[in-house]
């Protein structure tokens, strides 16, 4: 599973993307976030306030209960500020 | 037509390209977003726009198609820059062409409202106190929401 980060999420992560292999019990985005936080920093800091974070799976905006699988590209970022 | 690029663009040339060879166009409406030198009371030295290229392309294609579906447009151009920009620099260009003005005005406003809330861009401002990520505004969400249930015009 590929994870990509943008804006302050990327700064806190210290990287813009990484590949992770969560266990098969991780089937939705909320479980993925919980699994990442169990690994400690920087994830605990990055995912401290989920209300401040948006996500996309395979380039589509999704909610926190969206299903996620090993071949997905999952992006985490703050609310967008384009235009 | 959609472009996401670091370099500047020429609004006159873009308008010319949009309308050239189509005498069915009776009106063009354009909007250009610029970098301001003041934001939330602080002087801005520069701004860096980051984006998610593959997702940006998909979202912009989607909104262009939606504008063409809702209004009888002859054409539309969306250009969004990324990278480091300074006050006065152009950030974004939206132009819509139609037989009549109302469709052009409305669809241009729709495209800008939608871009603000759905295109995956993030702005990092350089101020005298250092760098800060621009926070999303509720007013932008409200502006986009007003189009949610709006049917296509006549």
Q: What is the pLDDT of residue B57?
A: 97
Residue B153 has pLDDT above 60, yes or no: no
Q: What is the pLDDT of residue B154?
A: 42
Q: Residue B13: helix, strand or coil by DSSP?
A: helix
Q: Looking at residue A17, which CATH number applies to its domain?
A: 3.10.20.30
ipTM: 0.94
Average pLDDT over residues B56-84: 97
Average pLDDT over residues B104-130: 95
Across the A/B interface, how many CB contacts are shorter than 8 Å? Answer: 71
Residue A64 lies in a domain: yes
Cβ(B13)–Cβ(B30) under 8 Å? no
Q: Extract the tokens encoding A48.
A: 């401290």
Q: Do A75 and B58 touch (CB under 8 A)?
A: no
Percent of chain A with pLDDT over 90: 95
Q: What is the pLDDT of residue B47?
A: 96
pLDDT tens sequence across B23-59: 999 999 999 999 999 988 889 999 999 999 999 999 9
Distance from CA of A23 to the nearest CA of B (A): 27
Residues from B in contact with A at Cβ < 8 Å? 33, 49-52, 54-55, 58, 80, 91-92, 112, 115-124, 133-136, 140
Residue A83 lies in a domain: no
Residue A29 lies in a domain: yes
Cβ(B19)–Cβ(B27) under 8 Å? no
Residue A58 lies in a domain: yes
Least confident of A6-10, A43-47, B103-107, B138-142: B138-142
Task: Kindly compute the dihedral angle of the four CA atoms of residues A6, B60, B84, A5, in this order, to the nearest 10 degrees.
Answer: 10
Q: What is the pLDDT of residue B59?
A: 96
Q: What is the pLDDT of residue B148?
A: 81
Q: Which residues of B touch A12 (CB under 8 A)?
A: none
Domains located in chain B, CATH noted:
2-145 (3.90.1170.40)
Q: What is the mean pLDDT of chain B?
A: 94
Cβ(B116)–Cβ(B140) under 8 Å? yes
CA distance B102 to B71: 9
Q: What is the pLDDT of residue B151?
A: 55
Residue A33 lies in a domain: yes
| H or E stretch covering B77 | strand B73-81
Q: Do B133 and A6 touch (CB under 8 A)?
A: no
Q: Do A80 and B119 touch (CB under 8 A)?
A: yes
Can you give the residue range of the structural domain that contains A28? 2-77
Q: Do A82 and B50 touch (CB under 8 A)?
A: no
Average pLDDT over residues B94-114: 97
pLDDT tens sequence across A33-67: 999 999 999 999 999 999 999 999 999 999 988 99
Half-sphere exposure of A54 (CA within 13 A, CB side): 20
Average pLDDT over residues B88-105: 97
Cβ(B74)–Cβ(B99) under 8 Å? yes
In chain A, the number of structural domains is 1
Q: Residue B34: helix, strand or coil by DSSP?
A: strand
Cβ(A1)–Cβ(A21) under 8 Å? yes
Cβ(B95)–Cβ(B56) under 8 Å? no
Q: Extract the tokens encoding B140.
A: 């932008």
């Amino acid at each position: 599973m590929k994870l990509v980060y943008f804006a302050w999420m990327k700064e806190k992560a210290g990287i813009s993307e990484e590949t992770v292999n969560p266990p098969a019990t991780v089937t939705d985005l909320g479980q993925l976030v919980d699994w990442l936080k169990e690994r400690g920093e920087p994830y605990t800091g990055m995912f401290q306030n989920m209300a401040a974070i948006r996500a996309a799976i395979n380039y589509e905006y999704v909610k926190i209960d969206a299903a996620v699988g090993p071949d997905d590209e999952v992006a985490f970022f703050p609310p967008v500020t384009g235009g | 037509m959609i472009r996401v690029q670091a370099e500047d663009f020429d609004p006159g040339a873009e308008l010319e390209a949009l309308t050239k060879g189509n005498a069915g166009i009776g009106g063009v409406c354009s909007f250009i977003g610029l970098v301001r030198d003041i934001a939330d009371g602080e002087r801005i030295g520069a701004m860096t726009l980051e984006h998610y290229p593959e997702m940006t392309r998909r979202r912009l294609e989607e909104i262009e198609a939606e504008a063409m579906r809702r209004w009888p447009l002859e054409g539309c151009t969306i250009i969004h820059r990324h990278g480091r920009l300074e006050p006065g620099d152009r950030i974004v260009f939206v132009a819509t062409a139609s037989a009549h003005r109302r469709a052009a005005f409305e669809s241009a406003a729709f495209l800008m409202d939608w871009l603000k809330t759905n295109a995956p861009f993030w702005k990092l401002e350089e101020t005298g106190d250092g760098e800060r990520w621009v926070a999303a505004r509720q007013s932008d969400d409200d502006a986009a929401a007003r189009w949610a249930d709006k049917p296509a015009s006549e």
